[in-house]
Amino acid sequence: MPLNAEDVARRWGVKNTTQTLSQIKVTQTPIFDEYFKGNMEGVTGGSVPVKIEKGSGLVLESVSPEAEHLVHERPTIFEIIVKLPRFPLENTIKASTLNEIASLEAEDQPIQLATEIGKVQKEQRLSFDTTIEYMSTGALFGKVMDGKGKTLFEFASTRPQIEFKSGKKLIQSITEIDDAMVEELGQNPGYKIKCGRGFLTHITSLAEAENLFDKSWHLGLQVEKIGY
């Protein structure tokens, strides 16, 4: 029996399609996979509470000119209500493809149609994963933007920045990072510096000038190049 419109709606309606889409992981997203795993829960609605632990370098305020976040102060955390962006996608299965499916044996039609829907889902999930990875990278630096550069989420901190300057000993900057980690977390669990090629070249030249590669200067520190 050929697959009719009612069968399609029942088998690949909004609920079933969404559940299938959420289970498809079509590409690696190293920033999101490494830093934003954990106990993730689905959200129904247009906003979500974001909890930020207080510390000596606590996040003070939302500084995005377009953001209207409600901040609730708790004894040990700030809770900020964030409005969620929407990323609607729409794809079309070509009429020629549907005609080809219709020409198949009746029992083969649902399988082939499901295959075509799966291709659409995979393409859409790739777009979502890429967008989430882009936003996750921005979150590490305190500024989340969409694909057009619109700021969705941004924070400022009271902690002074630790800079790597040419006239400043690299080991001094690393020591300042170590001290800041201990002050904030009570210990130094190790950390990574995410950087571009320019910073990597700069920090490497400083380490070479101070012969730090021969002194195991990198204890607790990993430098990873991202981008080009």
What are the extents of the domains in the chain? 5-156, 162-225
Is residue 43's pLDDT more than 80?
Answer: no
pLDDT (tens digit per residue) in 162-201? 888 878 888 888 889 888 888 887 888 888 888 888 888 8
Buried b (16+ CB within 10 A) or exposed e, 197-218: eeeeebbeebbeeeebeeeeee
* Half-sphere exposure of residue 76: CA atoms within 13 angstroms, side-chain side: 0
Which token pair is 157?
């901190």
Which token pair is 113?
């149609």
CA distance 223 to 218: 9
Q: Under 8 Å CB-to-CB from 170, ≥6 apart: which residues? A: 164, 203, 206, 207, 210, 212, 217
- Write the DSSP assignment of 76-107 as a string of letters: SEEEEEEEPP---------HHHHHHHHTS-GG
Residue with tokens 């990873």: 224
Considering only CA atoms, which of 100, 117, 112 is closest in space to residue 12? 117
- DSSP character at residue 49: E
pLDDT (tens digit per residue) in 122-132? 888 888 888 98
Note every long-range contact of 216-223, with CB atoms under 8 Å and residues 24 or more positions apart, other chains counting: 217/170, 217/171, 217/174, 220/178, 220/188, 220/190, 220/191, 221/174, 221/177, 221/190, 221/191, 221/192, 221/193, 222/190, 222/191, 222/192, 222/193, 223/192, 223/193, 223/195
**117 touches 110 (CB < 8 A):** no
CA distance 177 to 191: 9
**165 touches 206 (CB < 8 A):** no
φ, ψ of residue 154 to 5 degrees: the values are -150, 145
* Half-sphere exposure of residue 81: CA atoms within 13 angstroms, side-chain side: 8
What is the enclosing helix (H) or strand (E) of 73?
strand 70-73
* pTM score: 0.67
pLDDT (tens digit per residue) in 63-96? 766 666 677 777 778 788 877 788 888 888 888 8
**Across residues 140-159, what is the average pLDDT?**
81
Instruction: Tell me how crowded residue 101 is: count the other CB atoms within 10 A of its CB.
Output: 19
pLDDT at 41: 72
